[in-house]
Each structure stands twice: as structure tokens, then as C-alpha cells.
Chains A and B, each alone.
Chain A
Amino acid sequence: MLIQMKGISKAFGPVRVLEDVDFALERGEIHALMGENGAGKSTLMKILCGVYQADSGTIAVDGKDTPIKNTSDAEKQGIAIIHQELNLIPQLSVMENMFLGREPRRFGVINTIKMRTQCLEYLQLLGIENLDPDVEAGTLSIGQQQMVEIAKALSLNAQTLIMDEPTAALSERETEKLFGIIADLKSRGVGIVYVSHRMEEIFKVCDKISVLRDGQFVGERVIAQTDFDEIVRMMVGREIGDRFPVRQATLGEVRLKVSDLADATISGINFAVRAGEVLGIAGLMGAGRSEILKTIFGINRKVAGRVELDGQALNARSPAEAIAAGIGFVTEDRKSQGLVLGLSVRENATLANLSKYARFGVINHAEQMAVVQREIDRMHIRTRDAELEVKSLSGGNQQKVVFAKWLGIAPKVLFLDEPTRGVDVGGKAEIYQIINELAQSGVAIVMVSSELPEVLAMSDRVLVMHQGKQAGIFHQPDAETVMTAATGGLK
């Protein structure tokens, strides 16, 4: 047994986040760690890495009881973590990042020749020797940066590798490459803890799965002997019903019509969305999916084409103009683009239409509060108080606040970019329900998503992008059709 954590408990102040949790990892095993947000996954992994100290419980490495008091203890035991937010310094080169703080030196001067040779050795080990050790890390794609981090972990002689949502920002191809590398590490006897929300992936690459719920260990399963439904039940502790709630589509008039739209990176985009319809946009990372939304919304500069909203020409040069015309946009990254984290739920929920609650610029708090409270109730936003900082909410509830913000402008068209990213299973179902209700109330919805099952189940039609061009629009397609079009197989 490579790693054996037993009876781990941890509390922050009066809040118990882990209670008597066990976790075991074999050599050459890929072990998924699952649970809803707040279940305690990251706390458990931070204890293994020495970031936190467990209040009680033991950790054994290779069968030997090994107290891990700090991160350097963990490093000595060959435990490394690849964070979701990568930790490379963008202005330094690949090799400088890899040997940061332990640069090979001679007479106190960095020995660049030796550093480059060693760096290449580890890149070779991963089959990515085409990467230039001298190139600045910031110029690499997210996928490449992740590879560099893995190489760095190997250079530290990591035997246990913890990966936190490793594929969240990767393209399809990069993901395949990563899976290849993971399989290779496995054959070398490295144990991998794979933390992810993506079921499909977990069933594809992992050997075992451990589930946490509310800080407690629910169980461990061998992947081959379990299925999707059982894992979801273990995670949420209840039946969540349909994963994708059914919607009765009653399509109305065309609300948004786009002809020959182009910006700097996309061109030839043509589609129309009707009231009550959900149009999915699928494609690989970088195919130009979000650019369609950004161009219509006035973030990117439109270079050609015509946009009509309810029959009226729309030429938004800023988000303010698009919003005034009746378009809402749930952006991809809710922390950096969707919310002001330091402000309250109430203020975030009314950020796009604050003037509506004001006379001569003075806000009527009572009126504002009444509307916000109604949205909190309607969308089941779980917050103790609307005055709480939105930062303190879980990912799913934060996302619902973003939805509340856009519902406030009574949108005719709502753009969604990765609406359930970083949202746990229970929260996802609730967000799908909100999307369905919006569509039923006559809003036209355009949804970009990297999660294929989500696009397929939620959309009436799917527009597939390939390298900045529209590869086709399909009526309720299957996964194969979409993937073929997205990879350029349809000509």
C-alpha cells in the first residue's frame, strides 16, 4: 500500500470538515476521489500534502507510519500535487520553473547547460521533448503548462501524484494526451489521486473510486463493479431523479437572428434562435464557441455580419448596449467575470439593473431586497442571508446568483458559457431546471458547453464549431455526429 490514511479528522474552529475519513492508494493505481463541493476532498488532499495538519488520524507511506507536518515532509515522501490553477511563473522559462529554488549551480552561478539537459530528460520521459526548455511558461497552452508541472513533479521523484480537476481547462486532444501520460505513470508504479467532477472521464481512466460526503467517508468501489447511478447516489445521499430534467419545448417567433457574423477569429456564422428554444454550441477548446457570444454581446469587435434581435438590427459595441437591448450573458468564469466576490448576494444579484431600484440615483433598499429575496426563494439559493458576501457561497449557489442577476433585466435572449463548470451534481440539476423554466417562459437561450452530455441533453439544436467556422447545425444530434463535425470530419 503506497498511501494509507486512517481515521482522519479535521475541524476549522467549530466546523468539522472531515470526520474519521479513510483513504488508501496502491502503487500503479489511479484512484478517483469524488464528492460534492464542500464534501472535504480538497481538505483531505491538503492534509496529505502537508498544507493542513489533521486533528487526529494517521498517515502511512509504504506501510510505515509517517507524520506529515508540512509541505516539505510531503515532498520528502514523494507526494506532489498538480493544482487546478497552475502554479508556474509565466515570465520564467520552462526549465527555470522546473528547477525553481533548486537550480543546478556551479560556484554559485546557475549552470544553465546542466539545467537544460536535466529538463529535457524529464520532458522526454513524458514524451513531450518537442517542448523548448527555454521558452517562457506563460506562452504555453494550459495543457502544455500542466505537462510541465507533471514533469516538475517527476523531477522531484514523486511517487504519489494528486491531480485536481486536471482536464477542466484542456482541449479534447490535450485531454487524450494527458490520459496517455497518466497511463504511462501508472505503469511506472506511480499512484495517482484523481479529483474530478467529470464522471465520464473517471469511468474511463480510473481503477477505483472513493466517495466523500459532508466530511465523511461513504465508501470505496472498484470502477469495473459500479456504475454511474451508484456513485451519484453515494455522493448526494439521495436519488436526484433525472440528471437532465425534461423540458416541453414550445417554440415561438425567432428572437435572435445572426447572418455571416465574423470577428478577428471566427467567420461565417449563421443561425436563428426562437423563443423557448435552447441552441447548444459545441466544439473543441479554441474552436471559437465563446467568440460568437462575445461578438454579439459587444465584447469582441464585429468585423462583418448582421445581428437581429426581435427583428431589430443590433450593433452592440459594448456589453451595456447589448444588455439594454435585452441580452444577458452568464460568462464562463464566474469568479473573474460574473461576480464581484467582495459584495453581498443582494448587490451581485442586482448588479446589471441597479438603476431599476433607484429614483434620482438613490436606491430603494426595501424594493431591491424584496426582489432579491424572491429570486433567492425561487432558485433555492442557499445562503443564510442576502447580505452575506457572495464569496462564501458554494459554486452552484454562486452560479445561481449570476442567473438571478440576468433574470433581473428580463432578458429576451440569454447567453450561457459553460453554465455548470465547477458546479456539483445536485447543483447542476437545479441549474438545468432554471434553464428549462427560462426557455419555457419564452427566453431564447444559446449555450456553449464543453460537456457533451450536457449539450446533447439540454439543446433543441446544436451548432458545432470547427476552427473558427460553423461546421453545421444539427437537430438533436448524437454524440458521434457532434464529435465528427467538431474534429473536422464533416466537409
Chain B
Amino acid sequence: MMNMNVQHKATLQKLGPFLALLVLVAGLAITSPDFMTVGNLLNVFRQVSINALIAFGMTLVILLGGIDLSVGSILALSSVLTALMLSHGVDPVVAASVGILAGAGMGMINGVIISKGKVAPFIATLGMMTILRGLSLVFSEGRPITGLNSDFFAMLGGGYVAGFIPVPVILMLVMFAVFWFVLKRTVFGRHVYAVGGNEEAAALSGIKTDRIKIWVYTLSGAMAATAGMILTSRLNSAQPTAGTGYELDAIAAVVLGGTSLTGGRGWIFGTLVGALLIGILNNGLNLLGVSSFYQQVIKGVVILLAVLLDRSGKKA
């Protein structure tokens, strides 16, 4: 009997963020006539996609019990590199691929410093955040890089599939499915949970924990760079200061989704919901004409409330 109740409670708890999202959507649907239009919703999804892509990678990092503060800078540097190549007439497919691989490489450096160098993830990625931001400014000479001149590249952020679904939204949903599958069904995914839940036990069970960590930070870097491609395509230029503060939005989405900062517990669905919550909240507050100063206050309060509710639920 008790176990049943406990399980129901756990399920309810897990679905908490999703229920909050439904409530928010319902509330906005009633208060703002512009909210529930196809155009607005697709627009919200497109805005959310950049944060969601970064947050998917961040989910793995946080599942390991780590943190990645460098995603914003990785986004900027890989965008600058890709834009430089495009402006010099490099094939857009090559340019975008190299940009994403460069992001993966930056993430890999994070992973190596953290696992082999035994540096705390907060410090390692804080250092990388500063270094990579500096390099973005160096390579771009501190100016936005424009003149990308590629229809294909412009489609990444601005194109539509079937005439009305934005390409970034498709990309977000595909990556969501991939991450869901990887975390749930693959050896790698389950080892991420094991290392995050108890690193010592995982290592003593023969899991190569360093390798798992390096891969996870590499993935996080690749996801940040992918988000960078979308942003650069949307703006039709690369800004060396792009992505500043994005790491906090991504962390907020992961935590709102119920993934534990101590590692070992969480899911990718929660992160998608968390990213949507933040995006829809922004959109709704805009539609309702709330000043952008108050928007920040409200966003912060929502994040704290969500985490506090999560805590009290776990104690009971």
C-alpha cells in the first residue's frame, strides 16, 4: 500500500514541471488572445530551441554532478570561426561542420582538464569560459562578422519545413529524441547515471569514468556550437559577445526540469519542459506588456519557487 502511494507521489513529483507548464499555458491562453495562435507558438518554439539545445548537453553534464559554464563562450567562438569561413567563401556545409567540431573540441578540453587534471568542473569551465570569450574577440577583432552570403546557411535558423515549421524547432525535437534514447537505452547513457550517482562504485565496477566525463563535456560543447550555428544564421552575422549568460538559462532549464545538481538523477524530458517554461514565461510576460525589468524578477522567483517545491516534496 505504502509503496504504491510513494510511487504515485514520485510520479506526480516527476511530472510537476510538466503540470506547471500546462497551467502556465492555460493561464496565458485565457489572459492573452495573441498567445494561442499558431504563429506565436511556433515563434516561441523557435526562440526556445537555442536554449533547449544547450540545455540538452547541460543535462548530461549535470547528471554527472558537473557544471559547464563555458557553453556561452563555446557558442560565440564556434560561431565566429564558422562566420569567418563563410565570409571567405568556404562551403557552408564544411563551415558549419567545422564550427560544430570546434565546439566539440573545446568541450573535450573541458573534459580532459576535469577528468585527467582533477580540476573542479566549476573552475575548469569558468577558466575556459574566459579564454574562449577572449579568443572570440581576438578572431573577430571585436566586431560582428557579416557578409555570410549563403542561402543554405541562412536556412538553418530561418528556414521552414513543410512551409511553416521552423528548421530549429525540427532540430530541437530530433535532438530531444536522440538524447532521450541515448540516456534511456544505451550503455553510455546508463553509465552517465552510474558515474553521476556514485563515481567510486562505478569505477570499481570497471566503468571508465574518465572516458565518460570527456565524452559528456564534448557533447555539451558540440550542442553549444550547434546552437551557435542557429543563432548566427538567424542574425546573419556572428557576434563575439553572443551567448553571454546563456549558461545560466541552460542550467535553469535543467534544474526546473527536476534534474538534481548533485548528479545521478534527472531526465531529458524535464529539461525540454524547463526550457519551454522559461521561453513561454518570457513570451507571455511580453504579450501581457510586463516591463522587462519586472520580467527578470518574475523569472528568478519562478526558478526559486520550482526548486523549493521540489525540495519540500523530496523531504516529505
- Whether B204 and A299, one on each chain, are in contact in the complex, defined by CB atoms closer than 8 angstroms, is yes
Interface mask (A309-338 → B, CB under 8 Å = 1, otherwise 0): 000000000111011100001010000111
Does any Cβ of A come within 8 Å of B133's Cβ? Answer: no
By beta carbon, the residue of chain B nearest A343 is: B197
CA distance A322 to B208 in the complex (A): 13
- Whether A14 and B191, one on each chain, are in contact in the complex, defined by CB atoms closer than 8 angstroms, is no
| A-side contacts of B197, CB under 8 Å | 340-343
| B-side contacts of A363, CB under 8 Å | 185-187, 190
| A-side contacts of B207, CB under 8 Å | 320, 351
Count of chain B residues with a beta carbon within 8 Å of a chain A beta carbon: 25
Selected from B5, B198, B208, the residue in CB contact (under 8 A) with A13 is B5
- Whether B198 and A341, one on each chain, are in contact in the complex, defined by CB atoms closer than 8 angstroms, is yes
| A-side contacts of B299, CB under 8 Å | none
- Residues 197-250 (chain B) with a chain A CB within 8 angstroms: 197-198, 200-208
CA distance A248 to B13 in the complex (A): 52
Which has the most chain A C-beta neighbours within 10 Å: B185, B206, B207, B264? Answer: B206
| B-side contacts of A324, CB under 8 Å | 206
Count of chain A residues with a beta carbon within 8 Å of a chain B beta carbon: 32
Known A14-B1, A342-B264, A384-B3: A347·B204 in contact at CB below 8 Å: no
Does any Cβ of B come within 8 Å of A355's Cβ? Answer: yes
B116 to chain A, nearest CB (A): 13
- Residues 160-200 (chain B) with a chain A CB within 8 angstroms: 185-188, 190-191, 193-194, 197-198, 200
Selected from B187, B202, B204, B264, the residue in CB contact (under 8 A) with A355 is B187
Does any Cβ of B come within 8 Å of A2's Cβ? Answer: no
By beta carbon, the residue of chain B nearest A329 is: B204
| B-side contacts of A351, CB under 8 Å | 194, 201-202, 205, 207
- Whether A319 and B205, one on each chain, are in contact in the complex, defined by CB atoms closer than 8 angstroms, is yes
Known A13-B2, A320-B207, A347-B194: A338·B187 in contact at CB below 8 Å: no
- Residues 56-76 (chain B) with a chain A CB within 8 angstroms: none
Which has the most chain A C-beta neighbours within 10 Å: B1, B2, B188, B200? Answer: B200
Interface mask (B251-264 → A, CB under 8 Å = 1, otherwise 0): 00000000000001
| B-side contacts of A384, CB under 8 Å | 3
| A-side contacts of B2, CB under 8 Å | 13-15
Which has the most chain B C-beta neighbours within 10 Å: A320, A336, A341, A352? Answer: A320
Does any Cβ of B come within 8 Å of A362's Cβ? Answer: yes
B281 to chain A, nearest CB (A): 30
B263 to chain A, nearest CB (A): 9
- Residues 10-45 (chain A) with a chain B CB within 8 angstroms: 13-15
| A-side contacts of B14, CB under 8 Å | none
By beta carbon, the residue of chain A nearest B1 is: A14
CA distance A361 to B186 in the complex (A): 5
Which has the most chain A C-beta neighbours within 10 Å: B1, B197, B201? Answer: B201
Known A319-B203, A320-B206, A352-B205: A362·B3 in contact at CB below 8 Å: no
Those 6 A-B pairs whose CB atoms lie nearest each other, nearest first: A323-B206, A340-B197, A320-B206, A340-B198, A352-B205, A351-B205
A-B contacts, 30 of them at CB < 8 A, read: A13-B5, A299-B204, A318-B203, A319-B205, A320-B207, A320-B208, A324-B206, A336-B198, A336-B201, A337-B200, A337-B204, A338-B204, A339-B201, A340-B194, A340-B201, A340-B264, A342-B193, A342-B265, A343-B194, A347-B194, A351-B207, A354-B190, A354-B191, A355-B187, A358-B186, A361-B186, A361-B187, A362-B186, A363-B185, A365-B185
